[in-house]
């Protein structure tokens, strides 16, 4: 654990958050830090900022969506993330599974929950805004789906997700994935090299 916070502000609905998630362990290992995963609601951030998903903002623009896809393929190839598949149900409403992430922290199964839900979204292509699908995915992975889904309805859990989202906004975030190294904000999977350099820089100043 480093003595300055390194945070990954994520929403399962973002394919680039999934791709980042797969690359973060290497950064933790190389830098000797533990990265704190903070669930935030991307839909909430979009409402607060007026920002929109690339799927919306790039609609009708020529060449730019193709380029973004090319960049995604480059990232996948560079990091050998061949399990990635675009979710056929995109966009998936992530309110329940993001509340579930906060619940999983309280139930002590956060790391496993995050792995399972990211894989369900971006490897298996499941419709993770359907409660039956969520229950089945969690149960198959050996998680206590009933406990997680009950806890995710807890008022404190709901409030914590909303507070995380507000805090992300206050720190300058407008989308997912975002990263904080101390107070330095970075947006997008393409900034992971900068994140890594900034971790090393901040560590060197202590």
Binding site for a copy of itself (CB under 8 A): 48-51, 57, 60-64, 66-67, 70, 74, 169, 172-175, 185, 187, 190-191, 193-194
Q: Nearer to a copy of itself by C-beta: 14 or 152? A: 14
CB of 204 to a copy of itself, least distance (A): 16
CB of 67 to a copy of itself, least distance (A): 6
Q: Which helix (H) or strand (E) holds 22?
A: helix 15-31
Q: Nearer to a copy of itself by C-beta: 111 or 197? A: 197
d(CA 177, CA 70): 18
d(CA 104, CA 102): 5
Residue whose C-alpha is closest to residue 43's, from 165, 204, 153, 191:
165
Starting from the edge strand earliest in sequence, which strands make up the sheet with 36-39, in order?
36-39, 6-10, 178-181, 184-187
CB of 162 to a copy of itself, least distance (A): 17
d(CA 178, CA 176): 5
Are 82 and 54 a contacting pair, CB within 8 Å? no
Q: Nearer to a copy of itself by C-beta: 57 or 153? A: 57
CB of 172 to a copy of itself, least distance (A): 5
Are 2 and 203 a contacting pair, CB within 8 Å? yes
Q: Nearer to a copy of itself by C-beta: 16 or 87? A: 16
Q: Nearer to a copy of itself by C-beta: 37 or 46? A: 46
CB of 167 to a copy of itself, least distance (A): 13
φ/ψ (deg, to 5) at 42? -60, -40
């Amino acid at each position: 654990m480093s003595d300055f916070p390194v945070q990954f502000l994520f929403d399962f609905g973002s394919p680039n958050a999934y791709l980042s998630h797969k690359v973060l362990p290497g950064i933790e290992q190389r830098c000797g830090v533990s990265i704190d995963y903070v669930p935030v609601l991307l839909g909430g951030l979009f409402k607060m900022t007026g920002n929109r998903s690339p799927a919306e903002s790039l609609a009708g623009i020529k060449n730019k969506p193709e380029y973004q896809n090319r960049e995604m393929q480059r990232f996948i190839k560079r990091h050998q993330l061949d399990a990635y598949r675009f979710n056929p149900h995109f966009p998936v409403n992530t309110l329940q599974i993001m509340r579930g992430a906060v619940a999983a922290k309280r139930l002590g199964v956060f790391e496993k929950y995050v792995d399972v839900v990211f894989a369900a979204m971006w490897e298996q292509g499941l419709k993770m805004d359907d409660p039956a699908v969520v229950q089945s995915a969690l149960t198959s992975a050996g998680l206590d789906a009933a406990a997680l889904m009950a806890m995710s309805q807890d008022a404190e859990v709901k409030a914590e997700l909303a507070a995380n989202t507000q805090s992300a906004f206050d720190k300058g975030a407008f989308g997912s994935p975002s990263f904080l190294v101390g107070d330095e904000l970075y947006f997008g999977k393409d900034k992971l090299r900068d994140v890594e350099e900034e971790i090393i820089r901040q560590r060197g100043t202590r």
